[in-house]
Amino acid sequence: MSSFAVPTTLTEYEASRKDLILADRAQRADHKKGQLSKLEALADKVIRQVRAAEAASIWSLEYEGIPHPFPGMEFLTGRSIIVQTKLFEILGKMPKGGLLHAHLDATVNVSFLLKAALKYPAVHVRASTALNATNIGSVLPEMSVLPQQLRTSSDIALTDHNYIPDTWVPMVKAQESFASQLGGPEGFDRWITAALTINPTEAYVTHNTVTKIWQKFASTFVVSAPLVRYEPIQREYIREFILSSIADGISYVEPRINFLRPFIAEDGQRQLTHKEVLKDFQKVVDEVKAELKAQGREDEFIGAKIIYSTIRFITPEELEWYLRDCIALKKEFPHLIAGFDLVGDENVLKPLTYYLEPLLKFREMQKEAGVSEIPFIFHGGETLGDGTEADMNLYDAILLGTKRIGHGFSLVKHPKLIDLCKERGIAIEVCPISNEILRLTSSMHMHPLPVLLNQGVSVALCSDDPSVFGNMGLTFDYFQVLAASEITGLIQLGEMAKDSIKFSSMEEEEKKDALAAWQKRWEVFLEYAASEGRKFLAQFEGMKVSG
Amino acid sequence: MSSFAVPTTLTEYEASRKDLILADRAQRADHKKGQLSKLEALADKVIRQVRAAEAASIWSLEYEGIPHPFPGMEFLTGRSIIVQTKLFEILGKMPKGGLLHAHLDATVNVSFLLKAALKYPAVHVRASTALNATNIGSVLPEMSVLPQQLRTSSDIALTDHNYIPDTWVPMVKAQESFASQLGGPEGFDRWITAALTINPTEAYVTHNTVTKIWQKFASTFVVSAPLVRYEPIQREYIREFILSSIADGISYVEPRINFLRPFIAEDGQRQLTHKEVLKDFQKVVDEVKAELKAQGREDEFIGAKIIYSTIRFITPEELEWYLRDCIALKKEFPHLIAGFDLVGDENVLKPLTYYLEPLLKFREMQKEAGVSEIPFIFHGGETLGDGTEADMNLYDAILLGTKRIGHGFSLVKHPKLIDLCKERGIAIEVCPISNEILRLTSSMHMHPLPVLLNQGVSVALCSDDPSVFGNMGLTFDYFQVLAASEITGLIQLGEMAKDSIKFSSMEEEEKKDALAAWQKRWEVFLEYAASEGRKFLAQFEGMKVSG
């Protein structure tokens, strides 16, 4: 400590101060990286200047309907400003590494899902009452795929006061016939979209608590599930998820698939076996990889694995069935099954302790089945609670040997668990925008991420449920993190991207290749970021002089 | 680590889990305390039950104008519910120890200040324009004390359209003549009160960012200063501050007094010397102590000291003057001057580095003057910034040897600084309600306090500016902390109260006496809390059965 004794001269002081700041940041990935290359240092510096320039310009203006704009603000309100920034444009080109925390059912733009749904005659929609201007905001669409014999040719509008509640109408007809007073076909699309996404008023006004926003959040999955889980749509959906991820600079995806809800075959009737679901998934992945190879772009996508998930409201007996199902799939698709998780609102559903018996048996069950290890990759601490079951899940996730932690929002309160995460190489899947929209934090500035980074915990940034939040890809989440800190710069973002590969479920060989490929693309990106940023800064200075 | 290897049997698991939780909480004051007495354990348990009972009852109802009630919610919205709770009633009786962070100008109820102001003919008020229904929400009152020759007998109403802008009107007359359409005298009081307090709409809607709410916050001091700093009112004000603190269970106060703004003598003209200000302060303290002694209540109040403060927008040269002034006062009032601080919005005013030269000389200056040490007791890290000047102030506060840290809101991001605070016995003056109203956190659930407690940092809970926030005393802040955690209980609150004595600026002897006195009152309080809580729980169960 003596090295930090109170200095008396300015020179002594400056030296001690430098030492102290270094000691305080010594565990950060960007500091551990050590000496930067000329290019890294330049790009990092330029990006910090771009960030400062835009904080003082585009973020300092007043906007209709955005009372308090600032970098890192509430995503749903600030999104329209974010997409206009140079910082966002540049980050869009950054190689992001892997996407380690995303729920497959919520990974693709709603507009894409809607378009897909309209292509298949099996897709029908109904409402619990005839829609009108007063109830359209509260009545949810129920969509489903029907077997041939149940399909209707009914073309009565859902908005017709003669509409008989809960009558199925083919999706296309329902869209065509949607009353013009309610916006016609576009009004229909808006109605569906509103049910599948969270809007600013819901997040920041009407549902402005964790409990209330989770109710809206959960409802979006109920509405979308029948579409997303309809085999022909699911194939397109998975393909689009992978392609849009690649377009955003993501080179590997490890989505969680919820095997509790049914998957329906093309005929609209038969339930797919989980084996068929994985076959479909693998097929799409292989197709995409082949196409990229044909284009000489194989470096852009390493592949995909799946985290088998079910929902934390089932009984321990039911969980045991899912564990066995997961093991059976692992036997058939050893390279596809990456881990096992329980999903759903930790604040209201069952804690991990409720499932201790089956969970403790999982390892043994795997040995008996003779499959290579299936690690737990648990959600944990996605809560504001201090000592609540959701917060306590962190103890159990770690005791049960979780490979990573999903969210770990409350981890910062637990010094011993932070040590364990570092000692055991447990990375945290941090979902900045998800946490903010689900009201764990009011803006990125209140997010505990800097605590994790300064404590030296490994972090992979993730999008969680982009179709509901509107944070497609990873660029938005990287943007929010970069915008809300003066310490975090491009180098730290790069280290998090690397960690998303290092802590993924890829084989060691795959990781090596992935890291090498990432490094190549990173160098190219740094060149681009530096030159693009400088151009912007030059214009910016110009404007300041002229204006 | 091995002790935390993945267990395989349930019994092994439970044992490891217990160990892990203990290890994780080992640094908490309530855990370090060790074995609890029967009474402590009982009272702690009962209070946890009361908290749970009220979370499920009074906090689960719907309230007019309170869309999302929950324990630990936004203070200005939840206050009306808080005061109805049994938990609040019980905590009101808790011995709180010392109040270590409060700005004297903002420590007493506005209604008291208003009543005092109306007693003195020197007090006048004016407005920049005649008040009417449309502008009353935006036009601030300017209040001042005038010397005899400038006092007016003008009794034209501020609400009269013939009112000449900026004409002084005696306070009493202004109140009497306030137009009935604007509420008459009560409307006048509301107008003054609104200018001296922050209301929910300002905090949570119109000024819902740190920057904007600080603008309103700062304006309340500008409006109140001339009253609070008028000698006859100041005497009453200090007396009321101390008496209301004692009534809330506070037995020692260490307010910050801002010596930048002038203090005015009874004649309304002459500026008081700082020596006179301290004399007045000491006189009031002595009077109160004598009165308590006469009532055999001397145990309820140990005394008061002052943290000399000026505002962080002056020049380094000016600061040197204030440092010398502080030393001169220390010479005359060695037991009254406890430390030195710089106050004001860290996010927009000057950082500590701006004042390094004079600050580094302070110790030397004290030696030359031959006064006993005057420690720095700096504000630091009262910000959401990550690496901003306000956040970086923490490095400088600690390097400069600060005795405690005011707020230290961003300290949780700094592992090395946390270590230093523990090694050097630097306690953090945590102001939960202030932080929430000034928008550093949206509710107590997002406040970083649990991180500090679990890291073993010493914390004293403080009210900061209760006249502006409405959190008079310390009961409200203790309530918010207790309501927002399942881990923190009565024992932890007691340890924080003890730390507010241990880390105060009392002499060692005074501390011993204060702690002994506190312990006696604590035992009485535990008895009360246990029995009062049990009565409540019995009724509560009764209601559940009957209802």
Phi first, then psi: what are they for B95, rounded to 5°? -70, 120
pLDDT > 50? residue B323: yes
Give the CA dihedral B323, B384, A206, A480, nearest 10 degrees. 160
Over residues A237-259, the mean pLDDT reads 98
pLDDT > 50? residue B319: yes
For residues A68 and B504, the model is more confident at B504
Looking at residue A4, what is its pLDDT?
53
**pLDDT tens-digit profile of A336-382?**
999 999 999 999 999 999 999 999 999 999 999 999 899 999 999 99
Evaluate if pTM is beyond 0.80. Answer: yes
Contact list, A67 vs chain B (CB under 8 Å)? 206, 208
A4 touches chain B (CB under 8 A): yes
**Residue A6 — very low, low, confident or very high, per pLDDT cuts 50/70/90?**
confident
Which pair of tokens denotes residue B285? Answer: 């303290």
CB-CB under 8 Å, A6 with B486:
no
pLDDT > 60? residue B317: yes
Q: Which of B400, B414, B424 to mutate to test the interface with A (most CBs of A within 10 A)?
A: B414
Over residues A140-165, the mean pLDDT reads 93
Q: Dihedral sign for Cα A200, A206, A208, A213, please.
A: negative
The DSSP symbol for B532 reads H
Measure A33 CA to nearest chain B CA, in Å: 19
Closest CA to B489 of B428, B447, B530: B530
Interface of B with A in 123-182 (CB under 8 A): none
CB-CB under 8 Å, B384 with A487:
no
Over residues B252-269, the mean pLDDT reads 97
Which pair of tokens denotes residue B65? Answer: 């104008």
**pLDDT tens-digit profile of B490-534?**
999 999 999 999 999 999 999 999 999 999 999 999 999 999 999
B452 touches chain A (CB under 8 A): no
B324 touches chain A (CB under 8 A): no
pLDDT > 90? residue A155: no
Q: Looking at this protein, which amino acid is placed at residue A459?
A: V
**pLDDT tens-digit profile of B163-216?**
999 999 999 999 999 999 999 999 999 999 999 999 999 999 999 999 999 999
Measure B413 CA to nearest chain A CA, in Å: 4
pLDDT > 70? residue B298: yes
Measure B406 CA to nearest chain A CA, in Å: 19
- How far is Cα B198 from Cα B206, in angstroms, rounded to an integer? 11
- How far is Cα A80 from Cα A57, in angstroms, rounded to an integer? 15
CB-CB under 8 Å, A416 with B8:
no
ipTM value > 0.90: yes
Between chain A and chain B, the number of residue pairs with CB atoms below 8 A apart is 155
CB-CB under 8 Å, B385 with A486:
yes
**pLDDT tens-digit profile of B54-69?**
999 999 999 998 988 9
Which ranges in A344-489 belong to alpha helices (H)? 356-369, 389-399, 415-424, 432-437, 449-455, 466-469, 475-483
Q: Between B6, B26, B445, which is nearest A384 by CB? A: B445
pLDDT > 80? residue A383: yes
Q: Between B13, B24, B68, which is nearest A360 by CB? A: B13
Contact list, B24 vs chain A (CB under 8 Å)? 395, 414-417
Q: Look over chain A and give the mean of its residue pLDDT values, rounded to a whole number.
A: 96
A423 touches chain B (CB under 8 A): yes
Interface of A with B in 334-373 (CB under 8 A): 356-357, 360, 363-364
Closest CA to A445 of B439, B395, B76: B439
Q: Dihedral sign for Cα B150, B155, B156, B157, please.
A: positive
Phi first, then psi: what are they for A311, rounded to 5°? -100, 140
Which pair of tokens denotes residue A12? Answer: 């002594």
A13 touches chain B (CB under 8 A): yes
**Residue B3 — very low, low, confident or very high, per pLDDT cuts 50/70/90?**
very low
Over residues B9-18, the mean pLDDT reads 95
CB-CB under 8 Å, B13 with A68:
no
Over residues A226-235, the mean pLDDT reads 98
Looking at residue B261, what is its pLDDT?
94
Looking at residue B2, what is its pLDDT?
41
Interface of A with B in 198-237 (CB under 8 A): 206, 208-209, 212
| Closest CA in chain B for residue A409 | B446
CB-CB under 8 Å, B484 with A13:
no
pLDDT > 60? residue A126: yes
CB-CB under 8 Å, A360 with B400:
no
Query: What are the residues whose beta carbons fall under 8 Å from the beta carbon of B43, sequence distance 6 or more?
Result: B490, B526, B527, B529, B530, B533
CB-CB under 8 Å, B8 with A386:
no
Q: How many CB atoms lie within 10 A of CB B28?
A: 20
Q: Looking at this protein, which amino acid is placed at residue A416?
A: K
* Contact assessment for residue A533 and residue A47, using Cβ atoms and an 8 Å cutoff: yes
The DSSP symbol for B373 reads P
Looking at residue B67, what is its pLDDT?
83
Looking at residue B5, what is its pLDDT?
67
CB-CB under 8 Å, A441 with B384:
no
Which pair of tokens denotes residue B486? Answer: 């399942």
Pairing between β-strand A250-253 and β-strand A169-170 as defined by DSSP bridges: unpaired
For residues B374 and B543, the model is more confident at B374
Q: Measuring CA to CA, how many Å separate B470 from each of B204, B237, B258, B463?
A: 15, 16, 21, 9
Over residues A143-153, the mean pLDDT reads 92
CB-CB under 8 Å, A423 with B70:
no
Measure B401 CA to nearest chain A CA, in Å: 6
Q: Between B10, B24, B206, which is nearest A357 by CB? A: B10
Looking at residue B546, what is its pLDDT?
62
Looking at residue B234, what is its pLDDT?
98
pLDDT > 90? residue A537: yes
- Considering chain B, what percentage of its residues have pLDDT values greater than 70? 98
Over residues A303-319, the mean pLDDT reads 98
Contact list, A21 vs chain B (CB under 8 Å)? 395
pLDDT > 80? residue A547: no
Q: Between B386, B395, B398, which is nearest A486 by CB? A: B386
Contact list, A441 vs chain B (CB under 8 Å)? 442, 446
CB-CB under 8 Å, A209 with B17:
no
Buried b (16+ CB within 10 A) or exposed e, A512-543: eebbebbeebbeebbeebbebbeebbeebeee
Q: Between A24, A209, A391, which is nearest B70 by CB? A: A209
Over residues A315-330, the mean pLDDT reads 98
Question: How long, in residues, is chain B?
Answer: 547
* Contact assessment for residue A242 and residue A295, using Cβ atoms and an 8 Å cutoff: no
Q: Look over chain B and give the mean of its residue pLDDT values, rounded to a whole number.
A: 96
Looking at residue A1, what is its pLDDT?
39
CB-CB under 8 Å, A16 with B415:
no
Which ranges in A304-414 belong to alpha helices (H)? 316-332, 356-369, 389-399
Q: Looking at this protein, which amino acid is placed at residue A515?
A: L
Looking at residue A492, what is its pLDDT?
98
Interface of A with B in 27-86 (CB under 8 A): 27, 67-68, 70
Contact list, A209 vs chain B (CB under 8 Å)? 68, 70
Q: Which of B3, B6, B73 to mutate to test the interface with A (most CBs of A within 10 A)?
A: B6
Q: Between A6, A441, A450, which is nearest B401 by CB? A: A6
Over residues B26-46, the mean pLDDT reads 96
Which ranges in A59-118 belong to alpha helices (H)? 75-82, 86-91, 110-118
Contact list, A400 vs chain B (CB under 8 Å)? 6
* Contact assessment for residue A356 and residue A342, using Cβ atoms and an 8 Å cutoff: no
